Chain A
Amino acid sequence: MSARSTPAAPSAFFARRRRNYRRFIIPALVVVGAVIIFPWLFTVWMSAFDWKIGSVAHFVGFDNYVNLATNQRFIESIGHTFYFTVLAVVVPLVLGTIAALIFHREFRWRGVLRAVFTMPMMATPVAIALVWTMMFHPQQGVLNYLLSLVGLPPSLWVYSPTLVIPSLVLVEIWHWTPLVMLIVLGGLAALPTEPYESARLDGATEWQLFRFITLPLIAPFLIVAAVIRTIDAVKAFDTIYVISQGGPGTASETINLYLYLQAFAFYNVGNASAVVVVFFGIILALALLLLHVRQRAQWAVL
């Protein structure tokens, strides 16, 4: 959007005043430099040291990175992160699209119901995670009671090594499906009506209308939602930390959880900094990959 509004030659008034406008940015630049850029650089620097808080730091070069490459626990945490992320992106995308199709129609109470549906999105994650912890409880939890109502056997939920990640994703789905819904709803609002009218005249079914008209037109919005969801899911921390602490054992230990333990349980700052650098590389790679897909998809649609 900003690229489109850039004039070929900035107007003379504003060109002359560039230096004046730069002054507006300087305070923010100072703050960003102190709390954002400085930590980035300091992290990269620390990652070259064997350093525990309270002891002397030794320069070790790339040793921390080499150790990570052979660290079974770290590699497993990458696997857990990807498993968690795939589930926590795909399911909200599907459910969010369905919800958007529903809320796109006119019906009574739509505004109120949509507001209710979007409430989870802004709710404090820790507070929500505590409530889900109680709901997951195998003996007194309300979820197992609900299962028993429909005749299903009780589940161990987050106390089972195989079910812990899907259970945590359940919370993530509950939290973030509304965001996908709102993004897709924005896409649906911009749809033209003519293709639908002519397709209906040709006798197209509702499914065909969705598959061949709606879906291609909202694809760019779905990809935007996928990018945002991916970045957020990779970074998920509060919910996992509060509900399972990475357990049972290390069954739900994602990169972020591993990072937290290294830094603030073992105070292994050098190693943790190396984890941050690798972690950041993964996030950046995922974001660029998805943005690349987005650009190609946009060309396909246009």
Chain B
Amino acid sequence: MTHAAAAPRITIERARSWPRLRRAVRRAGFWLSVVVIVSPAILVFLWMLSLSLKNEIDNLAYPPVFIPDPPTLKNYVQVFTENSMGLYFWNSIVVSGCATLIALAVGVPAGYGIARLQAHRFMVLILIARMTPALSYLIPLFTVFQFLGLNNTLTALVITHLVITVPIVVYVMAGHFETLPKELEEAALIDGGSAWTLFRYVALPLARPGIVVGTILAFIFSWNNFVFGAVLAGRATRTLPAAVYNVLTFEQLAWGPLAGAAIVVTLPVLMLTIFIQKEIVAGLTTGGVKA
């Protein structure tokens, strides 16, 4: 009796445990692939952080020292005090900030006009502008600035950065205004509003999410630009990426300060990215999906 009762229970348990094991193996395999695909992204940033928090002896040690022990902020202090990182940080904020503000001033109304006029030719122009290598704008602008005596000034940099910021803002805003319903404006039109009133009091308030995305994308792309600053700026007017490359690589080969400076450059961008996680794709694929 007891035998007969026990036997079927064992087979049922065995039958249950096999798929469970297989599922566990598959789950482990899945998580392994997640780790493999995500770890390069995080490890480079962690290595950057590790280099910036170690002294030079540990940075050049072989095998490498991974965990800073004890961690030191010496590298950060050095880049700010000896390499005037603060000045370059300020230059970057002025250049990217001004270029973004000017782009908003001309680009938001333009996006509205393009959306309402269905001005596709202007959009094609913007797309070609974004496809052109940045260097090709630099040569003519450089010669003109040379002629005007504007080289080595922040003004020249702001003007050049408009090459980046204006197309992005126009593109994002035109796309955004196209998604807004025309009915609201038509209703306001019947009430006797001018085109400007419609834009200012009906369309613009509705476009705030688009403006946020356009602003952040324009600022990030301008901030990340290296070659304009590298060519046009003088010693005192360099933007951060140009300064990190020029000042730090030529005047010293120490890894710690270099990594510290690299973090100072890229941290603001990574923080801004968090706000527009979802909209990044739309901004980056300009023209690809929609045109």
Contact = CB atoms under 8 A, between A and B. Distances in A.
Contact of B195 (A20, A119, A135, A237): A20
Contacts of B263: 127
Contacts of B143: 42, 46, 53, 269
A179 B283 CA distance: 11
11 contacts: A24-B116, A28-B110, A35-B137, A107-B30, A119-B270, A122-B269, A123-B270, A126-B226, A127-B261, A238-B227, A283-B131
Given A31-B162, A35-B163, A130 B258 contact: yes
Q: Is the interface on chain A under 10, 10 to 19, 20 to 34, or 35 or more residues? A: 35 or more
Interface string A147-168: 0000000000000000000000
A115 B119 contact: no
Given A113-B34, A273-B139, 19 more contacts: A27-B110, A35-B163, A36-B125, A36-B137, A39-B137, A39-B141, A42-B140, A46-B139, A46-B140, A53-B143, A102-B34, A118-B280, A127-B265, A183-B289, A228-B288, A237-B134, A237-B135, A264-B231, A272-B139
A18 B134 CA distance: 34
The 7 closest A-B pairs by CB, nearest first: A24-B113, A28-B110, A20-B195, A127-B262, A42-B140, A39-B140, A276-B136
Contacts of A259: 133, 135-136
Given A28-B110, A115-B274, A142 B47 contact: yes
A205 interface: no
A20 B248 CA distance: 52
A135 B138 CA distance: 31
B79 interface: no
B42 A116 contact: yes
Interface in B71-91: none
Contacts of A287: 131
A24 B199 contact: yes
A279 B41 contact: no
Nearest to B45: A119
B250 to A, nearest CB: 12
A10 B118 CA distance: 10
Q: Among A21, A95, A142, A284, which residue has the most Cβ atoms of chain B within 10 A?
A: A21
A87 interface: no
Interface stretch (A1-9, A61-69, A191-199, A209-217): A1-9
Interface in B104-125: 105-107, 109-110, 112-114, 116-120, 122-123, 125
Interface residues of B, number: 103
Contacts of B196: 20
A53 B129 contact: no
A14 interface: yes
A98 B34 CA distance: 10
Nearest to A220: B289
B194 interface: yes
Interface of A: 1-2, 5-6, 10-11, 13-14, 17-18, 20-25, 27-32, 35-40, 42-43, 46, 53, 95, 98-99, 102, 105, 107, 113, 115-128, 130-132, 134-135, 139-140, 142, 145, 174, 178-179, 182-183, 186, 224-225, 227-228, 231, 235, 237-238, 241-242, 256, 259-260, 263-264, 269, 272-273, 276, 279-280, 283-284, 287
B249 A182 contact: no
A126 B241 contact: yes
B78 to A, nearest CB: 16
A46 B220 CA distance: 32
B16 interface: no
Nearest to A32: B166
Contacts of A43: 136, 139-140
A29 B123 CA distance: 11
Given A25-B119, A237-B135, A242-B245, A182 B140 contact: no
Contact of B129 (A22, A36, A95, A242): A36
A231 B131 CA distance: 7
Interface stretch (B2-10, B17-25, B60-68, B207-215): B60-68
Q: Among B41, B126, B220, which residue has the most Cβ atoms of chain A within 10 A?
A: B41
A179 B286 CA distance: 12
